[in-house]
């Protein structure tokens, strides 16, 4: 399968200095992607994994730092093609895009894992939801919350950092699963849209005794 450049749209991620190609019919970066990109702390020489990398937007944000390697795992073929196209045209550091389910992915442990995962549980009354490429990025068809956290723990170094964004109404589930898979919450921030809690930004450490820091709320403009 090859990518058709005429199917892509050139947008800008975070600022005008970072162009990025997207496919209009697929899940595209959004406010949550940008919030998470700004929330993450990336250090020199680290290896970064993005679970569900889509077009590579989060990896692109990490590429601005002096990292050792960037890896994106993505289940959809067309999204992988777009991500590889972006890597080829815009990335500075060694980057590979792997087209597979993260549940099947094997690698050496990473220093940091990032993810903007599906948020919503599958609604059994809508059996065709998996056929819509955009909905696939929003609904837990191919990756549940538990699968995300379990595999993040499996692929992360001890004391490694896991950054992700999710919905506030899943907070109880998130805490339960993080503790179950040997994470402690190091920091969290709630993003508000018109005084309604919209997004939950989380930093968790594997096998760490860290305290939890609640950051000041962020108000989306």
* pTM for the structure as a whole: 0.93
Give helix 145-155 / helix 171-180 axis angle, nearest 10°: 30
Structure tokens at 218: 């962020």
Per-residue pLDDT at 34: 96
CB atoms within 10 A of CB 190: 17
Per-residue pLDDT at 15: 87
What is the phi/psi pair of residue 93, to 5°?
-100, 160
Distances (CA, A) of 102 to 79, 80, 117: 15, 13, 12
Number of domains composing the chain:
1
Whole-number mean pLDDT of the chain?
92
The domain that contains 156 carries what CATH number?
3.40.50.150
Average pLDDT over residues 110-120: 95
Domain span including residue 80: 5-219
């Amino acid at each position: 399968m090859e990518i058709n450049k005429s199917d892509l749209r050139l947008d800008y991620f975070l600022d005008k200095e970072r162009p990025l190609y997207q496919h209009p019919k697929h899940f595209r970066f959004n406010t949550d992607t940008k919030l998470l990109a700004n929330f993450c702390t990336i250090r020199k020489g680290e290896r970064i994994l993005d679970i569900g990398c889509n077009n590579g937007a989060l990896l692109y944000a990490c590429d601005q730092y002096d990292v050792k390697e960037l890896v994106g795992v993505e289940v959809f073929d067309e999204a992988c093609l777009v991500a590889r196209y972006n890597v080829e045209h815009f990335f500075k550091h060694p980057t590979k895009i792997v087209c597979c389910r993260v549940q099947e992915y094997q690698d050496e442990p990473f220093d940091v894992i990032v993810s903007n995962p599906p948020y919503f549980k599958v609604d059994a009354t809508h059996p065709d939801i998996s056929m819509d490429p955009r909905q696939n990025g929003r609904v837990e068809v191919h990756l549940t919350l538990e699968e995300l956290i379990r595999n993040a723990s499996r692929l992360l170094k001890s004391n490694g950092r896991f950054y992700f964004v999710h919905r506030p109404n899943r907070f109880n589930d998130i805490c339960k699963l993080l503790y179950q898979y040997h994470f402690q919450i190091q920091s969290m921030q709630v993003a508000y849209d018109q005084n309604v809690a919209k997004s939950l930004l989380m930093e968790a450490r594997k096998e760490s005794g860290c305290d939890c820091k609640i950051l000041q709320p962020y108000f989306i403009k």
